[in-house]
Amino acid sequence: MGRSLEKIVREASEKWIDIPGVTGVGISKENVRDIILVMVKEDTIEIRQKIPHKYKGIKVQIQETGVISAEDEKIK
């Protein structure tokens, strides 16, 4: 994974993270190719209209994850 990919994903995250329902943006793999993974609470038409299929030449995949929350649990 190159620095340019990290920069592109960071830019995409800054653009999309404030879209209602988007819970995260990151890097994933599809077969052997890097893709941008957009995690959403619910996969809706409204979200799909705001997020492109490709961003700066990199495929974008939307994945419904539901609500993501951190747990406050001590490790024993």
Identify whether 75 is part of a domain: no
Answer whether residue 2 shows pLDDT above 70.
no
Identify whether 73 is part of a domain: no
Identify whether 72 is part of a domain: no
C-alpha atoms less than 13 angstroms from C-alpha of 5 in its C-beta half-sphere: 14
Identify whether 71 is part of a domain: no
Give the integer Cα–Cα distance in Å for 36 and 66.
Answer: 18
* CB distance 11 to 20 below 8 Å: no
Q: How many domains does the chain have?
A: 1
* CB distance 53 to 66 below 8 Å: no
Rounded mean pLDDT, 46-61: 97
The pTM score is: 0.83
Identify whether 16 is part of a domain: yes
Structural domain boundaries, residue 47: 3-64
Q: Which residues pair with 16 in a beta bridge?
A: none
